[in-house]
């Protein structure tokens, strides 16, 4: 699966507004990013990103435009508006991302190997078919790249990073055809 390099993502506008470029990423090719990927034993530099994070609704951007770009149905839009946080954790040789919702039926968990290998995951819009996702390690941040085919084929890029202890930013870009949505979600560490 082709995923744009960090430099290509920035030139194409596939990183969130004012995002992970702010943490000083070196620009390189995707193959170099894959080669730079670390094993779980060396993943301690990402400990500050792991844990349970509660969404700060007032500090976060709206993701209404992203839901419009992805053509999300009204029921799913209601569920997505009720997302209360995320959980990031290391299990075995992978990073596990779990979306936390106020609705018990709305559950999404994704597993990404530290190796950077592309994996099949459930589509976040819950449409039929699968998405492909990849974890890319950069400096003090983690990128998640996703790509999915029709219906409503597109690409998503997310960067998780921490500007200060107890705060997590996830800068996201969704691209479907020529439509692009960018937004930042701000999370506070759950005590």
Q: pTM above 0.85?
A: no
Quick check: 178 pLDDT over 50? yes
How do residues 123-155 score in pLDDT, each as one tens digit? 999 999 999 999 999 988 999 999 999 999 999
How do residues 56-113 score in pLDDT, each as one tens digit? 999 999 999 999 999 999 999 999 999 999 999 998 899 999 999 998 888 899 999 9
For residue 182, the model assigns a pLDDT of 97
For residue 40, the model assigns a pLDDT of 44
Report the C-alpha gap between 143 and 66 in whole angstroms: 18
Question: To the nearest whole number, what is the mean pLDDT of the chain?
Answer: 82
Q: For residue 12, is it left (φ>0), alpha (ψ between -120 and 50) or beta?
A: alpha
Half-sphere exposure of 145 (CA within 13 A, CB side): 21
Q: How far is CA 75 from CA 35, 44, 102, 139, 152, in A?
A: 41, 39, 14, 38, 17
For residue 163, the model assigns a pLDDT of 94
For residue 179, the model assigns a pLDDT of 97
Report the C-alpha gap between 122 and 110 in whole angstroms: 8
Report the C-alpha gap between 79 and 96 in whole angstroms: 21
Contacts of 56 (CB under 8 A, 6+ apart): 186, 187, 188
Quick check: 8 pLDDT over 80? no
Name the band, by pLDDT with cuts 50, 70 and 90, for residue 44. Answer: confident
List the one residue out of 156, 108, 114 whose CA is nearest residue 132.
Answer: 156
- The vertex-146 CA angle with 23 and 63, nearest 5°, equals 70
What percentage of the chain has pLDDT greater than the value 90?
A: 69
Torsion sign across C-alpha atoms 94, 132, 130, 183: positive
């Amino acid at each position: 699966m082709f995923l744009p390099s960090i430099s290509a993502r920035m030139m194409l506008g596939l990183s969130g507004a004012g995002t992970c470029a702010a943490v000083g990423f070196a620009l390189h090719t995707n193959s170099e990013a894959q080669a730079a990927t670390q094993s779980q034993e060396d993943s301690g530099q990402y400990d500050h990103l792991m844990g349970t994070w509660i969404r700060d609704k007032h500090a976060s951007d709206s993701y209404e435009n992203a839901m419009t770009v992805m053509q999300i149905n009204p029921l799913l839009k209601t569920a997505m508006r009720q997302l209360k946080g995320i959980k990031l954790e290391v299990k075995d040789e992978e990073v596990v991302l779990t979306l936390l919702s106020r609705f018990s039926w709305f559950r999404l968990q994704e597993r990404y190997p530290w190796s950077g290998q592309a994996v099949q995951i459930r589509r976040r819009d819950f449409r039929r078919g699968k998405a492909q996702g990849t974890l890319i390690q950069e400096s003090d941040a983690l990128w998640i790249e996703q790509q999915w085919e029709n219906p409503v084929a597109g690409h998503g890029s997310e960067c998780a990073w921490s500007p200060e202890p107890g705060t997590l930013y996830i800068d996201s870009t969704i691209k479907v055809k020529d439509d692009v949505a960018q937004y930042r979600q701000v999370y506070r560490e759950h005590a």
